[in-house]
Structure 1
Amino acid sequence: MPAIAAAPVIEIGGTGGLPAPSCNGTPANDRGAPKGLGRCSVLTMTTVYPIRDSGTNNPTTVPVNSTLVALTMRVGKLKDSKTCTKYSYHWVRSKIKGVTKNRWTKYCSKYDVFAEKAYFDKTFGKGSKVRLIVLRPERKKSGSVILKKVVALGPMISLERYFGRKITLALRQTIPVLKGDVVGLSVPTYAPILPLASSGTTDAWRASRPPAGFKPKDPTSGLPITKDPVTHRTADPCSTRFGVIFAQSSLLTTGKIADFRCSYPGVPTFEFTLVASS
């Protein structure tokens, strides 16, 4: 009886391995301005895919007609922090070996308590969630940069149970994909699956930003602006300084077309498993 060759298994994404997410569960890891967006960086309310990873371009573009069978993610960990912002002193009388002594003792009289997950829930929507998405390139239209159409979606995945872990999730319902399709994740709320980008990195990812009708906003007043208050040049709607991270742009409907004009340094911590079509 002749042997039957198994269909090749193909991994896409994670070319340089999945780096540690920036949210690592360390107390005070959230110190930044605004709070929660410092060293603990999360993906927020958008759809993303990597465009460069460790020198490999378009790492999650499907190389051959195949079936999408699994998703692997390295998920960060959120943690509350308690930071002393004011110290005071008071007299303490103690008796040591029969001798009474007075001394100044330092203590914290004011704390800054920050509930990290509660902040993200309140700011971006309750619960950390992602949804696998398959995108297909669309013909460029006037004024657009990189158009993609949603051709398939996986189930919504709640990440809380996976905080601080690397996980592989097999799809209960596999998804057929074509050569040239791009696989990514939609994040309707927030997801701690983003490492800190090192200085000078060539790694990059794209997002379905800005949403239609978005206007850059002054980071201090929150009012719409046309000029960058620092450089006095036209305000970039993709810049995280001008409020785009708080604008909903995630894609959750098949057939939807979006312009992935915004790109950012680094690479999200996910990859996918395909089985090539026979």
Structure 2
Amino acid sequence: MKRSNKSVLAVAGVALAMPGLAFAVLPPAVTEVGDAGGDVKPACPAPPCKAIPRTTGYQVKVGEDRAVHVVKADGRVVAWTIQLSKPGPKQTAFFNENLGGEAQAQLTILRPGNKLYARVVAQGESVKLTKYFGQKVTFTLKKSIPVKKGNIIGITVPTWAPALALEQPGTTSWRASRGKGQCNDFDSQSAQTQTNNITRFYCLYRTARLAYSATVVADPKPK
């Protein structure tokens, strides 16, 4: 298939929508894993308009931080946040036509293994994103997800999601669930939508950032 120069790249989230829900001041036991705000501004509608396409991904590095989406302590994920850009009508139609339909995403918990392999240990509900374009939105999970220290908070996008910030420093990078030789194959489906799936996150994309985060409540420490 001939690809337009408005092509893609990609990543995103999950849950029961509660737009505007914010955690500006977090109790000591509550932490944000990842970054869905601040200086993270996803592309679109300004060119090049790119999005997370048909994959599962997670941020590997931002500056000196090499564990951006790694859980720091055992706990439960109760919500996740995503910053969405606002593609124009023609851009939206292009993505819908070429990437399998309406923008959607879900939160995915990964247990990392050796040689860039990881297992999907849990997922949140899939959420349609179109009505939230141009917003930073938080979704509470219908059921909290237990996580262990060292798990990775990922995002699964079976179609596309306009939550990709471009023109970041060279020290910023993210990985996608694509194998060797498939890093530019955005037409093929690589989104991990089943628990217990094991896949290799071989493809590394530099100077781009996934604009999502998760709210984790740490387990109580034994007295």
Normalising by the smaller structure, the TM-score range is 0.7 to 0.9
1:50 alignment partner, one of 52, 59, 69: 59
1:129 aligns with 2:98: no
User: Could you give the per-residue CA deviations for residues 75-121 of structure 1, whole angstroms, max 9, x where no partner exists?
Assistant: 011103xxxxxxxxxxxxxxxxxxxxxxxxxxxxxxxxxx2111111
Which residue is 1:217 aligned to? none
Runs (4 or more) in structure 1 with deviation over 4 Å come to none
Code of the aligned partner of 2:141: L
User: CA–CA distance in 1 between the matches of 2:151 and 2:187?
Assistant: 28
Report if the CA contact (8 A) 2:37-2:83 is conserved. no
Distance 1:7 1:239, change over 3 A: closer
Calculate the TM-score normalised by the size of structure 1: 0.66
Q: What are the residue-to-residue correspondences of 1:1-278 with 2, within 5 Å?
A: 8-14=29-35, 17=38, 19-23=40-44, 25=45, 29-30=46-47, 39-80=48-89, 115-138=90-113, 140=114, 145-198=115-168, 200-210=169-179, 237-240=181-184, 244-265=185-206, 266-278=208-220
Aligned letter for 1:12?
A: V
Identity among equivalent pairs (%): 33
Tell me if the contact between 2:54 and 2:160 (Cα under 8 Å) persists in the aligned partners: yes
Deviation at 1:168, TM superposition (A): 1.3
Aligned length: 193
Q: Return the letter of the residue paired with 1:43.
A: I
Question: CA 1:270 to 1:15, structure 2 compared with 1: closer, same or farther past 3 Å?
Answer: closer
Deviation at 1:246, TM superposition (A): 1.1
Q: Distance in 2 between matches of 1:46 and 1:19?
A: 20
CA contact (8 A) 2:176 2:203 kept: yes
Amino acid at match of 1:237: G
CA–CA distance in structure 1, aligned partners of residues 100 and 154 of structure 2: 20
Is the Cα contact below 8 Å between 1:18 and 1:269 reproduced in 2? no
Quote the RMSD (CA, aligned, Å): 1.7
Listed as ranges, the gaps of 5+ residues in structure 1 are: 1-5, 31-38, 81-114, 211-235
Bigger Cα Rg = 1
TM-score, length of structure 2 as denominator length: 0.82
